[in-house]
């Protein structure tokens, strides 16, 4: 897998976080769009990225998520990671129900980034 920059890695992380409970709610969609508007102030075609995510088998999600968490780590400051974690927490709480899987993925990201 080719290393991603921070913005693309963040997109992958958010898309997987919003999908691990097998529900992608409108509230989650709005938050992902907000992330994209902030990180990609210019028009960018994310179709290829979405295709990669969409073709993953469920059992491949965790490894893909960990890979992109490491890409984000390599390309970000500690403050950016803390801000992203706040945003990710808002995302997993958007439907007023944090599943065990969402929590597990979120804590995996925190462990990879060594943020308690």
CA distance 92 to 78: 21
Print pLDDT tens along the chain (116 aa): 789 899 999 999 999 998 888 888 888 888 888 888 888 766 677 888 888 989 999 999 999 999 999 999 999 999 999 999 999 999 999 888 899 999 999 999 999 999 98
**Of residues 100, 102, 76, the one with CA closest to residue 91:** 102
Question: What separation in angstroms does the CA of 7 have from each of 11, 21, 35, 96?
Answer: 6, 23, 9, 26
pTM: 0.88
């Amino acid at each position: 897998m080719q290393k991603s920059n921070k913005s693309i890695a963040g997109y992958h992380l958010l898309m997987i976080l919003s999908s691990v409970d097998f529900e992608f709610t409108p509230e989650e969609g709005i938050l992902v769009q907000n992330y994209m508007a902030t990180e990609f102030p210019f028009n960018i075609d994310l179709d290829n990225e979405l295709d990669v995510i969409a073709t993953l088998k469920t059992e491949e999600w965790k490894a893909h998520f960990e890979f992109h968490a490491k890409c984000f780590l390599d390309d970000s400051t500690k403050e950016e990671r803390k801000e992203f974690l706040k945003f990710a927490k808002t995302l997993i709480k958007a439907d007023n129900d944090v599943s065990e899987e969402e929590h597990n993925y979120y804590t995996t990201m925190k462990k990879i980034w060594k943020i308690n």
